[in-house]
Amino acid sequence: MIQRIQTLFLGLVAFIMTLNLFSTVWKADTAEKSILLTPFYLSEKTIDGEHYHGVIYIALLIILIIGISIFSITRFKNRPLQLKLGLGNSFLLCLVVGAFYLVIGKGKSMIAADAVAHFDPGFFFPLIAIVLNILANRYIRKDEDLVKSVDRLR
């Protein structure tokens, strides 16, 4: 049944992670250098020019998360598979957060300690998606428990 609450949560995971693809994650600025992190690249702007360090693997993970969320919505008749997909999605979301953390560490090493750095909304989107994914799994499990309890009564 498409109208279940977990469908809404999984749809929100896909939507939020789509927003994450097109948003900035982290910025740091000094007088002579500026660093910008997006899911596709880590950009280093200096007086000499602009250098890009590819982090395309983060974007690929995000696209995989979006695909798994949408696929999971279409598998509403197979709740055990939905639970496994949700578990895998949670793992991938944690990988994205970890990758952001590692790349931000790399960005911090490229810039002086007196730099003004801040997290943009793109950093928080995977954290929100983790919570929504956990809620979706919780309601999928409740549905599965309800179906099992009804089967016991027959």
Q: Which pLDDT value is given to residue 100?
A: 94
Is the residue at 100 inside a domain?
yes
* Section 9-34 average pLDDT: 92
Is the residue at 153 inside a domain?
no
Q: Which two three-digit tokens encode residue 22? A: 């097109």
Distance (Å) of CA 45 to CA 41, 65, 72, 101, 111: 12, 30, 40, 20, 11
110 forms beta bridges with none
Is the residue at 98 inside a domain?
yes
Is the residue at 71 inside a domain?
yes
Confidence (pTM)? 0.90
DSSP state of 4: S
Is the residue at 152 inside a domain?
no
Which residue's entry shows tokens 């997909």?
Answer: 85
What CATH number has the domain bearing residue 79?
1.20.140.150
Is the residue at 94 inside a domain?
yes
d(C-alpha 56, C-alpha 39), whole Å: 7
d(C-alpha 116, C-alpha 98), whole Å: 22
| Window from 27-36, 54-63, 80-89 with minimum mean pLDDT | 27-36
Instruction: Look over the chain and give the mean of its residue pLDDT values, rounded to a whole number.
Output: 90
pLDDT band at 152 (very low <50, low <70, confident <90, very high): low
DSSP state of 110: T
Residue-range definition of the domain harbouring residue 54: 5-147
Tens of pLDDT, residues 72-97:
999 888 889 999 999 999 999 999 99
Among left, alpha and beta (phi > 0; psi -120 to 50; other), residue 49 is: left
Element (H, E) at 146: helix 121-153
41 forms beta bridges with 54
Split into its structural domains, the chain has a count of: 1
